[in-house]
Structure 1
């Protein structure tokens, strides 16, 4: 009995010793895991989780030690106050590599806390103000509002040949930003912006503002906001007999939009999303297959970008031969990374040097790509 216990103890000690030699790297995720945007937050988290699991299955070695990645995920509720609490929790846990936040309204205030803690941040938040703050370790891993809003306007003018449009925004940092960029480019392209109405990201009744816009005979309404509001807006447009197109940014380019909107969401809805068409990217189909096998559903808008962000961090660690965030930051800022969704190379502000935008419509409740440019 004594010999068995000793052998068991030795086995445990050996296992613990081997594990203790691994270098643990904590990857933090911040996003809306509850509330109306939870479908996006969980999809993003799943993209990051898939990358962490693949890295641990390899595994990779830095400075002579195997890296063991751990994903710490916090629900920021898409709310600035909750986002600050989530950021502090991740920072206190020793996280120096963050993916998220998803919402610009959360990313802008938390970016200072992450910067002060020496953490790197890879986010899909699109408001241009985010990268104008001058934080060296902050990377936007998709197109900004400037690109999303302006290219949607150019498509509306050049391809749809629209002349008279309107704008609704939800007053969030994202919604306002992308709506203003659409409006600016729409005017520059010769379209008339007949009205700019306002709502919020908790609203579900848009009857009064839609009725007002109906009298202006607009051919399209650009909505700066999210799918949980965009879908009922599409339904109410149909109920009111408004035959105008509903246009939007990346946050309505989601299966949730089709699910919530039903038969009111079809080729009448168009949206712009950062990145090239995933099905046409060389690694796109393989990523989609892996994601579906692991999570039993198709990846949504930004799962691939979150996957790429974690893999970009890992490649940076390998190239720097260090897990020190500042050394990795120097590598990422000066190099490029070929990911599933595209090539990640950043300018001095942390914006992608090249970020194609894809225009989508909806078929059978699912986003269906039309063209990339």
Structure 2
């Protein structure tokens, strides 16, 4: 049975309950687009304060944060409309660990994604305050996304200052990740990181999420230069820049200068020469064919535009530039402004729409990671 939220939304099935409110499916009556509606538990929520502070919350754009779109009052209830996240919550995933354990090697990446999102929000003096496994989602492509960030701060805001819950969020995130970890003892560095996140003081713990991200990046740098595919293990090559061609590598082919590694499938596309490579998906109607055609990677489903982005490869550096794509290009979680080149280095994660890629750059003489 459905009910309506004002004139715009149809309220659908209940999706769960979090600390701040009940979550429902909400459908835009005019477009059919699906959202998540959070019906706030707090009956005394200050609607004027919520509406005054909400534009900053709605302006947050990060690959690992659910977008906030609207706050309204319907029938005496405070409703916040968020992006609907496909996938399962980490609460759901924790409940199935006995039957389907998570590979311990994935957990540092989950933590890194969540920490990046929270560090990004910190720049705007926004924290979560109600973080738990019910509002952290694991999406089908392996991406972590956090919902309802900043909402508690708006609900409890007094005057111009928004309360910050950094230490509370840090401890909560460590507990969520620790609950997914079924093979303790395999990664001492990661175990120490989880322990430090639970410390309540700056001397032994992390003072903020930016410090945690920095620590995780150091750990990842030490791992990825030895664990990621080398040029000799390539599965696809872009050599003479034949438009749209991703060719099977041949023995004796030239060593790559850089590669795109797809962690979800283990596939690699290599770039053997300097120059500009357009990333997108091929369509029979287009005049310009992308150099790196991601059609075989389910590009349409991952929100990749026909001409999505371009990678400019120099001998000693590389850049990526969004080409006014519909769903954006992100480097390490930060969305790029269209037609604004951004540097990428070895090991950086790029999201073309929602397709995750890792950029690898090699030394020209020996194809080892830069």
Q: When the two structures are superposed, what TM-score results if normalisation uses the length of structure 1?
A: 0.23
Name the one with the larger strand percent: 2
Report which structure shows greater RCO (CA 8 Å, sep ≥6).
1
Q: When the two structures are superposed, what TM-score results if normalisation uses the length of structure 2?
A: 0.24
Name the one with the larger helix percent: 1
